[in-house]
Chains A and B, each alone.
Chain A
Amino acid sequence: MTAPDPEAHVALEKVRVAFGPRTVFEELDCRFPRGRISVLMGGSGSGKSTILRLIGGLLRPARGHVWVAGDDVTRLSDRELNRVRRRLGMLFQGSALFDSLSVAENVALPLRERRELSSREIEAEVQRRLSDVGLEDAGSLMPGQLSGGMQRRVGLARAIVSSPEILLCDEPFSGLDPLNVRRIEALLVDLNRRYGHTLIVTSHHVPSTRRMAQQVVFVREGRAVSGTPAELERGADPAIVEFFRAEESEAVALPSAGGSRA
């Protein structure tokens, strides 16, 4: 069995996922091209994070294939899966930093466990990645001393420290103020341009998706529709068009709500 599309760095093929009686995907197909920024969009509970967990091998589908850089991760043993995971980096929604380790120790953890670099090389690499995310002076701090946005950036530094080919980001903008959204967004775009990572980002944030996405994969009712942001916004599916326009309608509605109070 070979990957369905050689152009795709990551591909899901006829994937079925169910949690008890609830079927999330019946026959999901989607592709994520190499070196591109793909944004996974969809309503809450549509299965965006589930797709990231499938790609990372954290979840095995009941049926179907998940191709990551040419390997079907649904058929791999734990040891083989770890070989594939060394080519992946993941930023979790809650950052998933270790409370008992400092920022620098958190970022250094994957390198220390691989034992391929000397301590000095690891320190230099950690410092370089912390600089990439604008936190070069935060190495000695503990995660509890950081704001949500800073934690997200440390999580990002840890996800990229081992130079993964594919970077998975689960809701990197959720709960952040507009300045931090712009900062994380700029970081992701910069990482993609400088290092050529394939980025797969789940997000509800329409403005940042418009700015950064080279491909949008919209997940709805167990199906995935792909295209550029402009294509989907002007597409034939009214639910997708409405999703893109919802934020603008909200922005228009706010002043009138304030006006009625006055």
Chain B
Amino acid sequence: MRVRSIEAIGARTLGFVSELGRMAFFAGHVALTLVTRRPRPGRVVQEIYDVGVLSLLIVCGSGLAVGAVLGLQGYNTLVRFGAAESLGAVVGLSLVRELGPVLTGLLVTGRAGSAMAAEIGTMVATEQLDGLRMMAIDPVDLVVTPKAVAMVFAMPLLSCIFTVTAIFGGYLVGVVLLGVDGGNYLTSLESAVDFENDVAGSLLKALVFGVLVGLIATFRGYTSKPTAAGVSQATTSTVVVASVSILVFDYFITALWGM
């Protein structure tokens, strides 16, 4: 019984390591096509539209709601210590350092990452990728790379939009509803948030999350089984693996960047 348990752990570990290896090869293939093949600006712009523009509503709506909650919670806590004028600093730092890139990463994973995996998985199931191979076209070059690149471009932009919208949401609740002075809100925000440590770190996080989500979504779709269940599994695992990766990488970037 004990031997079987150890065997099962060993098999899972080997499976995990070989999956990481396959993903590393896949990432290398994507990077190689990016460098060696002709650029496809038209396809990348179309994908940025799908990933970025079509995610704007959910990103802005969520940003507004998160900012409003932060404003409310922050005000209720700060007012006890007579520091309500620091609300802008609390809201700004929380959003720029952590919540902006992390929540944007999770939202984009759920909306665009899952769609990306499902689309590529469906192309596998309906033999469209084999069709490309038979036309001597590399599916990674034509289908995968533009999607992954679009995710890397779109994520930092969406993160900035989320953060700005959320700061506005905090302003609405703190200043308009609860009566905090508008000048104090903005001044404390400006003096607390540092460009080099906070804004650049936030952009770095969003960029890394874009690479992670882009790679995980395309890899899961590309390697999905050619069945309806396979596509469904690829979509689910994209959301789970990308979300966990975002949270784990967030910790390491924060620790290494010194935020």
Residues of A within 8 A of B (CB): 53, 56-58, 78, 82-83, 85-86, 88-90, 92-94, 96-98, 109-110, 113-114, 158, 162
Which one, B127, B136, B142, contacts A82 given CB within 8 A?
B136
The answer to whether A86 and B136 touch across the interface, beta carbons within 8 angstroms, is yes
Which one, A89, A96, A114, A162, contacts B127 given CB within 8 A?
A96
Q: Which residues of A contact B128 (CB under 8 A)?
A: 96-98
The answer to whether B130 and A110 touch across the interface, beta carbons within 8 angstroms, is no
The answer to whether A96 and B130 touch across the interface, beta carbons within 8 angstroms, is yes
Once the chains are docked, how many angstroms separate the CA of A94 from the CA of B126? 7
Task: Tell me the number of A-to-B contacts counted with CB atoms below 8 Å.
Answer: 45
Cβ-based interface call for B15 (8 A): no
Which one, A83, A85, A93, A113, contacts B134 given CB within 8 A?
A85
Supplied contacts A83-B136, A85-B133, A109-B135, 16 more A-B pairs, CB within 8 Å: A53-B130, A82-B136, A85-B135, A92-B130, A92-B131, A94-B126, A96-B131, A97-B128, A98-B128, A109-B137, A110-B136, A113-B135, A113-B137, A113-B142, A114-B136, A162-B135
The answer to whether A94 and B127 touch across the interface, beta carbons within 8 angstroms, is yes
A94-B126, A96-B126 known; A85+B136 contact, CB < 8 A: yes
Question: How close is B221's CB to chain A, nearest CB, in angstroms?
Answer: 15
Once the chains are docked, how many angstroms separate the CA of A110 from the CA of B137? 8
The answer to whether A58 and B135 touch across the interface, beta carbons within 8 angstroms, is no
Once the chains are docked, how many angstroms separate the CA of A78 from the CA of B141? 14
Q: Which residues of A contact B135 (CB under 8 A)?
A: 85, 109-110, 113, 158, 162
Question: How close is B51's CB to chain A, nearest CB, in angstroms?
Answer: 15
Question: How close is A57's CB to chain B, nearest CB, in angstroms?
Answer: 8
> Which of B126, B130, B134 has the most chain A CB atoms closer than 10 A to its own CB?
B134
10 contacts between A and B (CB under 8 A): A57-B133, A85-B135, A85-B136, A96-B127, A96-B131, A97-B128, A109-B137, A113-B136, A113-B142, A114-B136
A96-B128, A98-B128 known; A90+B134 contact, CB < 8 A: yes
The answer to whether A88 and B134 touch across the interface, beta carbons within 8 angstroms, is yes
List residues of B (91-120) whose CB comes within 8 Å of A's CBs.
Answer: none
Q: Which single residue of chain B is at the shortest CB-CB distance from A111?
A: B135
The answer to whether B130 and A58 touch across the interface, beta carbons within 8 angstroms, is yes
Q: Which residues of A contact B138 (CB under 8 A)?
A: 78
Question: How close is B227's CB to chain A, nearest CB, in angstroms?
Answer: 13
